[in-house]
């Protein structure tokens, strides 16, 4: 996993973000974790649909298109769901622990960008 931060319309919103790019990391996602943390998120590339089967906590989900524009926000997706989708244009999904960050501030069309931490 890569580590970085996520900005909304140019302003840093999430300081501790992970980015799943490889097939292995994308398939694993957050499975097996007991928590993600109050100010953290996972950005999954090439992902327009997620499931919460086997998850131990509820998720807030932000579905993005290829340009990083917000398409759909889903709050409180509970564990055990087989399918939660962002629509046919969704290309990335941002997963956050439900209620930890204010996804309600996001609007369709807002642009989220990834900045990788310098090692």
pLDDT attached to residue 38: 86
DSSP 103: G
Contact 41, 6 (CB under 8 A): yes
Contact 18, 41 (CB under 8 A): yes
The rounded distance, in Å, linking the Cα atoms of 54 and 119 is 33
pLDDT attached to residue 37: 84
pLDDT attached to residue 43: 96
- Give pTM, 2 decimals: 0.93
pLDDT attached to residue 115: 95
pLDDT tens per residue, range 9-30: 999 999 999 999 998 888 888 8
How many angstroms separate the first and last alpha carbons of the chain?
Answer: 13
Query: Which residue segments constitute the domains of the chain, with CATH numbers given?
Result: 2-116 (2.60.120.1140)
* Ranges of residues in the chain whose predicted pLDDT is under 70: 119
pLDDT attached to residue 26: 87
């Amino acid at each position: 996993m890569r580590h970085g931060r996520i900005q909304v319309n140019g302003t840093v919103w999430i300081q501790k973000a992970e980015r799943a790019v490889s097939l292995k990391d994308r398939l694993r996602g957050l499975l097996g974790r007991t928590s993600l943390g109050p100010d953290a998120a996972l950005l999954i590339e090439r992902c327009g649909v997620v499931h919460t089967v086997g998850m131990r906590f509820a998720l807030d989900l932000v579905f993005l298109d290829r340009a990083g524009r917000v398409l759909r926000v889903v709050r409180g997706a509970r564990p055990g769901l087989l399918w939660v989708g962002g629509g046919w244009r969704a290309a990335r999904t941002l997963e956050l622990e439900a209620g930890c960050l204010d996804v309600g501030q996001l609007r369709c069309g807002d642009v989220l960008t990834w900045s990788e931490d310098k090692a």
